[in-house]
């Protein structure tokens, strides 16, 4: 029998420590199909009529490399049928636009035909596999005062941000979309209960 020494292994504290809010990281995005909506890419909420994209982002490098960030990107809010403004869907569309701009190196104020084409997708599947710069936030359960929170993607950072080029590892305007990069497999059902 061979002794195995785990004294030098990381403590579990570091595995569960939250990434500080407003940290910028390069993320590889995977959409986890939920079987709802066009082509089954959307996920139906278990508690309402809301629909969302269930995403898993893997941080590619830096001190948080290989950490997984689970984020729901809104497509249709629970009150969408009431005629009220669907803020859940509006925030989701804004984030999706930001992801496309970040992944394709498009400035948010660029209205050229080329930029508009890069903000257009044929399927939600076109979003899966993109690499972009994400701003990390912390989301807490409003119904649980003791909830320590979980990391989520709160924004995508485009080439107008001063740190974009360094984080993407390229010069502004020279970035090729990451869709051709090797895909990182999503975790096989190991997502926390709140991300399923």
Region 7-36 average pLDDT: 87
pLDDT at 178 over 90: no
> How far apart are the C-alpha atoms of 109 and 115, rounded to whole Å?
9
Calculate the dihedral angle through the C-alpha atoms of 75, 80, 86, 87, rounding to the nearest 10 degrees: -70
pLDDT at 121 over 60: yes
Going through 42-195 in order, the beta strands assigned E by DSSP cover: 43-44, 51-59, 68-76, 131-139, 150-157
Region 10-32 average pLDDT: 87
Strand partners of residue 83: none
pLDDT at 157 over 70: yes
pLDDT at 81 over 50: yes
pLDDT at 193 over 90: no
47 phi and psi, to 5 degrees? -115, -5
pLDDT tier for residue 44 given thresholds of 50, 70 and 90: very high
pLDDT at 13 over 80: no
What's the pTM?
Answer: 0.79
Cα Rg of the chain (Å, integer): 18
- Looking at every residue in the chain, the average pLDDT score rounds to 85
pLDDT tier for residue 154 given thresholds of 50, 70 and 90: very high
User: Quick one: which of 133, 171, 107 has its CA closest to 28?
Assistant: 133
């Amino acid at each position: 029998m061979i002794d195995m020494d785990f004294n030098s292994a990381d403590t579990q504290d570091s595995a569960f420590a939250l990434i500080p809010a407003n940290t910028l990281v390069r993320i590889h995005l995977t959409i986890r199909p939920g079987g709802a909506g066009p082509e089954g890419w959307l996920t139906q909420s278990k508690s309402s009529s809301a629909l969302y994209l269930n995403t898993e982002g893997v941080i590619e490098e830096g001190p948080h490399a290989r950490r997984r960030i689970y984020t729901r990107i809104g497509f249709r809010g629970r009150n969408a049928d009431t005629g009220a403004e669907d803020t859940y869907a509006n925030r989701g569309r804004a984030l999706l636009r930001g992801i496309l701009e970040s992944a394709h190196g498009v400035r948010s104020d660029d209205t050229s035909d080329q930029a508009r084409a890069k903000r257009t997708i044929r399927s939600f599947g076109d979003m899966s596999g993109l690499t972009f710069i994400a701003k990390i936030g912390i989301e807490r359960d409003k119904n649980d005062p003791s909830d320590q929170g979980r990391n989520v993607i709160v924004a995508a950072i485009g080439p107008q941000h001063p740190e974009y080029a360094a984080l993407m590892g390229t010069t502004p305007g020279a970035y090729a979309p990451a869709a051709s990069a090797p895909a990182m497999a999503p975790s096989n059902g190991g997502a926390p209960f709140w991300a399923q």
